A and B are shown apart, each in its own frame.
Chain A
């Protein structure tokens, strides 16, 4: 299914000379093209229009790679984000992008060389740098059209301490599978939820089964995979439903191929809560569990619920191997101690990410 069907392509003048730009343009023959000096100066139409079906190709001047911003008072997992694409075709009700990105356009940075230059400056010899493209985008949703993985994966071998994570709710793995020689440096991550939640709150994303089959193909092809139970939503009977998801993935996929697993409870800013309510009046996700305002200004489930949820989720996962690296996203040390009786840096399987780090 073609997820990217722009009515207009806006290209920065300086991006026209970049090698990746004509490759993108060749995929959208016949689409109106507008060349601008700087996409930032293009008026955001979101205040006047319902939709903004525009693909923007930029020669991005700012930092493409940034440290994951984390949140006040929570433990950091030393992750870096590379915002090469901004925008996502899926309509997940809980998605933080609804708060951060307020128009429907998709932006792709065509200056791939700059990404690798930044990568070279960030990396430190002898330490693994984890970087992902899935913060402001689904890493693979547009890959059949944009083929960004074809630009990135062949060049990773020049940066052997770098692991690139591609997080997705799609099954678009065909391009990746063509780059088997990059498998030691690529982790393909799937965001997982029970099918019931996919149906109600992840409109447009592929089914759980399709995610499983895609993950299995990647693992069987030698790639490592990651799974992100984030957000866990405490729907009625959530324990059985999430356990079924864990069982499906962890019994069907070689656990040695699982690079890491994250678990995070539903969390949202007050402004995102308003967006939930306005855009998805029938969504029930805010009605489950009990939320409190946390010191970082986000609502989370009351700690009692979160700790209980984490203990159970970790139990479900560790049934398949005590050394599977499981970490919590955006949680304070208190929660780590209550679940694991220790901090992440004290856990051997997480030493890759949480130990004292140069980054």
Chain B
């Protein structure tokens, strides 16, 4: 497969031809292992090149080493020269990278995009042969996730990559209009919601937009939303809850009003902190629960006495009637 190892002038290598490149980001930081090694010993491992039609070379493996070499004014570099068809070169590049590291989600997405768009590989073959090679199960849903990632713009990808956003959050963008993605990225970066809360927020955005016939971007550009997202004083978890509550009240106005009224009536019971009266889940059913927290028999007796007083209070009847007779 490798025809020969030879020393190649950097001028002969076409660094603009990124046919076999999928590294993301392509730039490197000073802290990376290969940079430290290269700074001390130069480029040790040969890059892999394929001769192109103009007598120069196309890079198969080693883009970042070559960029380092260029920046550091290296004139020549050791290279393994191969003579393979395009797809074989690409597979080699993928395998070579996988032998030293796991590809990040943006790289996997690029690999899949190139397999489809550049090399014309059928989806079923990608699912069966390439997903396992990349370390993923052969499942169409997994394929769809990675294909979706290619929809992000370069600046969006950069932000998502640098903030180390998980793929579960990234695929949630599929439920949003593209014009609202920048706003959603702001939410991710400023509020740092967990996957579940982020999904809830996205569902609410989508449903409000559909109910009110406004664009998702219009909704997310509203001052009430922006005030929460860009509030520098509140903790991000607090901001997540505030945003979710704001959207939830707007999505479910009747339920929210009902809950508010329930809370108002509940407060009139003036229960001590160690006693709780809990309404049926989602106000479905007519069975309430009472919860008492106590440390000893004295506290229990006291709580039971307080509860007995509440039983005679008309506020309790009012609360129960309100809940059961919607």
A residues at B contact (CB < 8 Å): 46-50, 73, 277-278, 281, 284, 286-288, 290, 292-295, 300, 302-305, 307, 332, 334, 338
Contacts and interface: CB of A to CB of B under 8 A. Distances in A.
Contacts of B325: 338
Give the secondary structure class of A's interface: mixed
B284 A303 contact: yes
Interface of B: 123-124, 127-128, 137-141, 174-175, 203, 206-207, 210-211, 251-255, 258, 281-286, 324-326
Given A47-B139, A49-B140, A294 B254 contact: no
Contacts of A293: 281-282
Given A48-B140, A302-B282, 13 more contacts: A49-B140, A73-B284, A281-B174, A286-B207, A287-B210, A290-B251, A290-B252, A292-B284, A294-B281, A295-B284, A295-B285, A307-B326, A334-B286
A332 B284 contact: yes
A232 to B, nearest CB: 17
Contacts of A300: 284
Contacts, number: 73
A213 to B, nearest CB: 33
Contacts of B139: 47-48
A102 B11 CA distance: 55
A48 B127 CA distance: 6
A293 B253 CA distance: 16
A338 B321 CA distance: 13
A278 B123 CA distance: 19
A59 B322 CA distance: 55
A294 B128 CA distance: 40
A284 to B, nearest CB: 5
Contacts of B210: 284, 287
Contact of B283 (A49, A288, A302): A302
A187 B326 CA distance: 36
5 contacts: A47-B138, A287-B210, A295-B285, A300-B284, A334-B324
Contact of B326 (A287, A288, A303): A303
Contact of A304 (B124, B138, B326): B326
Contacts of A303: 282-284, 326
A66 to B, nearest CB: 26
